[in-house]
Amino acid sequence: MRVNKHFCSVSHACIPSKSQALNCGSRLLVVSGTVDHKYSLSGKCGRRRRVVASVATEQSVDNAEGTLSTEGEAFLAGRSENGSVQSITISYRDKKVGKHVEGRKYESVSVKDYMDRSRDFIVPDGGPPRWFCPLECSHPPKDAPVLFFLPGMDGIGLGLILHHQTLADLFEVRCLHIPVMDRTSFEGLVKCVEETIRLEHKVSPMKPIYLVGDSFGGCLALAVAARNPTIDLILILANPATSFNKSQLQPLFPLLEAIPPELHGTVPYLLSSVMGDPVRMAMADINDELPLLDTVQQLSENLEALLPRLSNLADIVPKETLLWKLKLLRSAALYTNSRLHAVKAEVLLLASGKDQMLPTRDEAIHLLNKLSNCRVRYFRDSGHTLLLEGGINLATVIKSSRLYRHSRNRDYVLDFVPPTPQEFKEVYDKKDWWFRVATGPVLFSTLEDGKIVKGLTGIPQHGPVLLVGNHMLMGLELVPLVGEFLRQRNIFVRGIAHPALFSKRSDEGLHQENQIDDVRLFGAVPVSAKNLFRLLSTKSFALLYPGGAREALHRKGEQYQLFWPERSEFVRMAARFGATIIPFAAVGEDDIAELLLDYNDLKEIPYMSNWIKQLNQDVQNVRSDMPGEVANQEVHIPGMAPKIPGRLYYLFGKPIATAGRENELKDREKAHSLYLHVKGEVEAGMSYLQEKRKEDPYRQIIPRLLYEATWNFTRQAPAFEP
């Protein structure tokens, strides 16, 4: 008996009946059911914990059952076709034991692994389509939702191989495998997936179910969603093949039928030229910190190893299967397009800008207009095989698109998964490096005795903590603040952000990943008393700007002015949970940009006035009922001119403890007195930083860069002495 070392388990939901599980003649022995004293091949599932397992065998199995200990291993025994008893011990883990492991290192995986592992799946076995769980995904976190992957034309089910490890931190992952010689019709595949979805929904009716459809799998996901509008489905579609009948390759398809068998080996090379970019595929496992010459050498080696493996595609998709798949694609596109109106599920469409197989860009716009709840993420430089290319992290896309949740109702606090070190590095060290280099942020904090020190030593290690401060123009202080808390103290600061960052309008059109996605990825929540309550109740570090959009979008001559509400908004809430309040100040916007056209100027221009009105049409103004300027929070983009960059400075004031003062601060007047004290500390901090920065010899970028260059950019230029 040979065990497949890459794939360990198969979901109970893919087994409609016991007979299919036992008589499919598959190399996968499927074991599933309710855990009691025995573990049977029934295909049913109760409400108690469940364990799934499978082993690759060289013979079919007629009967099997096993016993389970509380945890650790399952001993399975079965009879082969010749009557001999085959047995194997399989390690397993209860899904409740799985935990999110922060900071774990991921093994390097590339398209070469996809090609190599596919060989384990292409042996004809006469079995039906089935589900498997990749070994990397065998320990899902507690209460994780289920993600079902629906493959593209290859049918192998390994299309997420580059993402298995990162998705395993979020989901129970199950992948559909359609055997090479299988000839199930599209409607038959729809029913197969549908049965799985309905059974999973019956087991966990309050959890969402994720369907990731790649190309052909995108049609499959949409068809299933159209037939099951009452099930909470979240669809993630990578270049769905709904536009197959408009493919620019249609004239070539009849030629495939005429290719003689002895020349079929050349077809994979033809297909590979339109399926994806080999260079981007070869870059998938290359460390981007390598020097240029080492990167070029590694890329050359990867391409040299990858190209010969393309011949495997001839085995994965032999001629008869290729012709069948093309017919299947045509019927899938027709079937799905006629039912788009019935899709009620939440849809995220991943569209490539260089898809040589399908007109994906135009189709993305078409689907965006057709589907009632759809948004798009546009990858301008990617090809058709988007999920097999480097530079794309599906788990990150899901989190930054606000798609990850554990129940039918989205909980911005409890559904948050902290960014991994890799995600932090991608955003802070790559995307935002230029901003950090240009602004050279310096952070100061205040100790309990009132002494100001450089760094964040004065910040408590444990929450709940409420950081309360001033917005600079466009909220420019946010990126370094959140990033440095993570880098220096490993503390996640959850920002309480304007509702505009979470509106449908923020995702309109062919949306490319941008700063808004990064803000969501790092845990920002829409501003509301409920969300502040939830953050403090979970002992989080919350970041609050009482001045909101009015302060971040201030007018000319209003820099470093606070536009806070007249009455306290946060003191009694903080006291309820014994949170520590830390007032902070940030200055430096006047060293970075010049405000040319403010809100008042834009309102005088008819076109811009109408644009501002449309922009705010679907955005909730959370302070419309308040007196004063704080109520004027219309979102807009002011006209700015960049300056030669100066420096950003932050000062975190002395922590203010509210623990033990709950009864005292229930009094409105005392709470308001503390509110005014916090406001005064922020104003004092701004004045302090504006005066002290005059003593910084490296305030301007040129002397600062010259200093840091002498240290090979391993040391930050010093600032003033506090």
CA–CA dist 562, 436 (Å, integer): 25
CA–CA dist 421, 487 (Å, integer): 10
442 or 30, which is more confident? 442
Q: Is 415 exposed, middle or buried (0-12, 13-18, 19+ CB in 10 A)?
A: middle
- R_g over Cα of the chain: 29
Contact present, 131 and 13 (Cβ < 8 Å): yes
Whether the upstream peptide bond of residue 141 has omega within 30° of 0, thus cis, is no
Whether residue 100 lies inside any domain: the answer is no
In terms of domains, do 354 and 467 share one?
Answer: no
In terms of domains, do 48 and 118 share one?
Answer: no
Mean of pLDDT values over 492-509: 79
Banded pLDDT at 356 (limits 50, 70, 90): confident
Banded pLDDT at 710 (limits 50, 70, 90): very high
Chain centre distance of CA 144: 15
Whether residue 651 lies inside any domain: the answer is yes
Which of 102-116, 195-209, 390-404, 502-516 is modeled with the greatest confidence? 195-209
In terms of domains, do 483 and 622 share one?
Answer: yes
In terms of domains, do 621 and 599 share one?
Answer: yes
Domain span at 475: 421-710
Is residue 593 classed as helix, strand or coil in its secondary structure? strand
Q: Which of 357, 379, 410 is the last residue of a domain?
A: 410
In terms of domains, do 465 and 386 share one?
Answer: no
Q: Is 174 exposed, middle or buried (0-12, 13-18, 19+ CB in 10 A)?
A: buried
CA–CA dist 677, 119 (Å, integer): 69
Whether residue 718 lies inside any domain: the answer is no
Banded pLDDT at 415 (limits 50, 70, 90): very high
Of residues 424, 227, 461, 202, the one with CA closest to residue 340: 227
Mean of pLDDT values over 470-491: 92
In terms of domains, do 75 and 109 share one?
Answer: no
pLDDT score, position 80: 35
Q: Which of 363, 384, 410 is the last residue of a domain?
A: 410
Token pair belonging to 269 = 């090379």
- Alpha-carbon dihedral 663, 668, 671, 676, rounded to 10 degrees: -170
Strands 452-454 and 442-446, how do they pair? Answer: antiparallel
Whether residue 137 lies inside any domain: the answer is yes
Q: Phi then psi for 109, rounded to 5 degrees? A: -130, 145
Token pair belonging to 540 = 């989080």
CA–CA dist 79, 632 (Å, integer): 75
Whether residue 27 lies inside any domain: the answer is yes
pTM > 0.85: no
In terms of domains, do 374 and 478 share one?
Answer: no
Cα atoms in the Cβ-side hemisphere of radius 13 Å centred on 487? 15
Token pair belonging to 107 = 């093994």
Domain count, the chain: 3
Of residues 334, 343, 333, the one with CA closest to residue 369: 343
In terms of domains, do 78 and 138 share one?
Answer: no
Which residue type is seen at 2? Answer: R
Whether residue 721 lies inside any domain: the answer is no
Is residue 297 classed as helix, strand or coil in its secondary structure? helix
Residues belonging to the chain: 722
When the pLDDT of each residue in the chain is averaged and rounded to a whole number, the result is 78
Q: Which of 62, 94, 126 is the last residue of a domain?
A: 94
The CATH number of whichever domain residue 397 belongs to comes to 3.40.50.1820
Contact present, 521 and 423 (Cβ < 8 Å): yes
In terms of domains, do 81 and 124 share one?
Answer: no
Weakest-pLDDT range from 184-193, 622-631, 691-700: 622-631
pLDDT at 450 over 90: yes
Whether residue 716 lies inside any domain: the answer is no
Whether residue 268 lies inside any domain: the answer is yes
Contact present, 581 and 681 (Cβ < 8 Å): no
In terms of domains, do 464 and 379 share one?
Answer: no
* pLDDT tens track for 526-544: 888 899 999 999 999 999 9
In terms of domains, do 532 and 460 share one?
Answer: yes
pLDDT score, position 503: 73
Compute CA distances 489 → 271, 455, 465, 492, 579, whole Å: 49, 10, 14, 9, 18
In terms of domains, do 166 and 23 share one?
Answer: no
Q: Is 183 exposed, middle or buried (0-12, 13-18, 19+ CB in 10 A)?
A: exposed
